[in-house]
Amino acid sequence: MSNEHIVAGFDQDLAKIKAQVLSMGEAVNQQIQKATEALANFDAEAVDLLITTDRRINGMHKDIHSRAESLIARRQPMALDLRQALAPVNIAGELERIGDHAKSTAKRSRKLVDGPSGVAAMDIIAEMSTLTQSMLRQVLSAYDNVDIDLAAEIRDRDQKVDKLNKALFKLALDAIATAPDKAEAFIHTILLARTFERVGDHVVNIARHVHQIATGEDLKASE
Amino acid sequence: MEHPFITARDVDVFYGDKQALFGIDLDIQAKEVTALIGPSGCGKSTFLRAINRMNDLIPICRMTGQLEIGGQDIHAPAVDVVALRAQVGMVFQKPNPFPKSIFENVAYGLRIHKMTSNKTELADRVEWSLKSAGLWDEVADRLDEPGNGLSGGQQQRLCIARTIAVQPKVILMDEPCSALDPIATAVIEELIDGLRKDYTIVIVTHSMQQAARISQKTAFFHLGKLIEVGDTETVFTNPTQEQTQNYITGRIG
């Protein structure tokens, strides 16, 4: 939409909220990165800091929600404008859930001070983390530029995350069968992979919101 | 899709040499509220006034094309314009009660169209009309007081009562709430929503929120042309035309 609003205030208010969402997204991405680092090299202080940061992220979510609510109440946007005004609420909600997953990953690292069981498992977890972080950065860019092609690409990339989750599940099951004494650690590993799989799903949900802003329609599932 | 109650085909309207409407094709369904929106001068009020031939009152105004109501060409030689306007009532922007009592305002149309046969029937019809317009409880004990002594919102409901007294098929409304406060507006909007059970309503409004709240169909006019018509929900959430989107979101189009 190249045409400008007659009332510039709407664009200015929306730009501020969008900047907050992008900043929240960046903070959440750092949380995933730090939580993954804590898995590889347990650091009690870093985990405590991460939990504190999650509260700040929850505060950002509430602030975005209340600003979007105020924008809608005051400007009464319609059509594309309404979708743009609602998107921050939905996207910040997804980011808040990703933040929670980062927190739960960090908390689980307390139970896995030696890292997830087995080098192969840790490699898969690390790959899932790297992939979801990359997808999250991409989806924030897609939101910033209302890029629906990039949104579709992110949806497709999530299939790789799902495959890694399944691969880890199989690996952990086999490991439990051969070394039942390590079952607890491997179950934690399964749950970690599940967490990153959920992060991927939230990122795809954000991609769907981006598609919805631009088109007013749902983004179809991958072929 | 039901057969439309009002159909406009290739309607052009001219004020002297100036063309105000260009080839309007529009179907209006029975017992729905259709909102006509668009910037000032877009032709929406001209189209509204074409529906009951109010434009005939403007000497330089002429129309070509075809307008049918209930399958009847409203320009057919046999059509009695006075009878047409009883069938297609109109409520205006500014409440315009006659300088008569509340009772006589509503009774007026019934008398001139000889629609009641005795005083009791007349009184019953006035009461029914005032009740239908949601005004009865507020005026029942002062029917002989002047209509123009009522509040703005009450006067507008009196005008609606006057319109529905003669049992029209269609009610045209030209910005009926623009002179009213938000509470009086809400009362009228609620009334319109109730009236659509029995009447086909076409409303011109500058308030897009009002169009979104009360109508089932919305038609967007721009520079004398019908740009888009569709379900109100679609027009205000995902219009098909960029011009519509620009207008409803307040963009410089």
Number of H helices, E strands in chain A: 6, 0
What pLDDT was estimated at residue A112? Answer: 81
User: pLDDT tens across B32-42, in order?
Assistant: 999 999 999 99
Residue of B nearest to A212 (CA): B238
How many angstroms separate the CA of residue B53 from the nearest CA in chain A?
A: 34
Q: Where does residue A8 rank: exposed (0-12), middle (13-18), buried (19+ CB within 10 A)?
A: exposed
Residue of B nearest to A216 (CA): B238
Alpha helix stretches (DSSP H) within A2-78: 8-40, 44-75
How many angstroms separate the CA of residue A82 from the nearest CA in chain B?
A: 8
How many angstroms separate the CA of residue A90 from the nearest CA in chain B?
A: 17
Cβ-based contacts of B208 with chain A (< 8 Å): 78
Q: Does B225 have pLDDT greater than 80?
A: yes
Cβ-based contacts of A77 with chain B (< 8 Å): 249
Distance CA B191, CA A31 (A): 55
Q: Looking at the complex, does the CB of residue A216 fall below 8 Å from at least one CB of chain B?
A: yes
Interchain contact, A216 vs B238, CB within 8 Å: yes
What pLDDT was estimated at residue B2? Answer: 72
What pLDDT was estimated at residue A117? Answer: 65
The average confidence (pLDDT) of chain B is 95
User: pLDDT tens across B87-103, in order?
Assistant: 999 999 999 999 999 99
DSSP 3-state of B65: strand
Is the separation of the CB atoms in B177 and B207 below 8 Å? Answer: yes
Cβ-based contacts of B207 with chain A (< 8 Å): none
Residue of A nearest to B235 (CA): A79
Interchain contact, B249 vs A80, CB within 8 Å: yes
Q: Looking at residues B199-217, what average pLDDT do you find?
A: 96
Q: What is the pLDDT along chain A (223 residues), one digit of tens a residue?
A: 457 888 889 999 999 999 999 999 999 999 999 999 998 888 899 999 999 999 999 999 999 999 999 999 999 999 999 999 999 999 999 999 999 999 999 999 888 876 566 778 889 999 999 999 999 999 999 999 999 999 999 999 999 999 999 999 999 999 999 989 888 888 999 999 999 999 999 999 999 999 999 999 999 887 6
Q: Looking at the complex, does the CB of residue A84 fall below 8 Å from at least one CB of chain B?
A: no
What pLDDT was estimated at residue B1? Answer: 60
For B251, list phi and psi in degrees, rounded to 5: -100, 160
Of the candidates B249, B252, B253, the beta carbon closest to that of A79 is on: B249
Interchain contact, A79 vs B208, CB within 8 Å: no
User: pLDDT tens across A83-100, in order?
Assistant: 999 999 999 999 999 999
Within 8 A by CB and 6+ apart from B15, the residues are B58, B60, B61
How many angstroms separate the CA of residue A81 from the nearest CA in chain B?
A: 7
Q: What predicted TM-score, i.e. pTM, was given to this entire model?
A: 0.85
Distance CA A192, CA A182 (A): 16
Residue of A nearest to B209 (CA): A76
Interchain contact, A80 vs B246, CB within 8 Å: no
Closest CA relative to residue B93, chosen from B214, B213, B177: B177
Closest CA relative to residue A153, chosen from A171, A140, A139, A143: A139
Interchain contact, A1 vs B251, CB within 8 Å: yes
Q: Looking at residues B198-218, what average pLDDT do you find?
A: 96
Tokens, residue B120: 């009791």
How many angstroms separate the CA of residue A152 from the nearest CA in chain B?
A: 21
How many angstroms separate the CA of residue A8 from the nearest CA in chain B?
A: 10
Cβ-based contacts of A5 with chain B (< 8 Å): 249-252
What pLDDT was estimated at residue B3? Answer: 86
Residue of A nearest to B208 (CA): A78
Cβ-based contacts of A7 with chain B (< 8 Å): 250
Tokens, residue B118: 């005795």
Within 8 A by CB and 6+ apart from B109, the residues are B86, B115, B162, B163, B165, B166
Distance CA B203, CA B211 (A): 8
Q: How far is CA B188 from CA A143, B131, B161, in A?
A: 42, 13, 12
Show the 3-state SS of B86-128. Answer: HHEEEECCCCCCCCCEHHHHHHHHHHHCCCCCCHHHHHHHHHH
Q: How far is CA A107 from CA A26, A42, B143, B210, in A?
A: 21, 10, 76, 52
What pLDDT was estimated at residue A111? Answer: 85
Q: Looking at the complex, does the CB of residue A218 fall below 8 Å from at least one CB of chain B?
A: no
User: pLDDT tens across B140-184, in order?
Assistant: 999 999 999 999 999 999 999 999 999 999 999 999 999 889 999
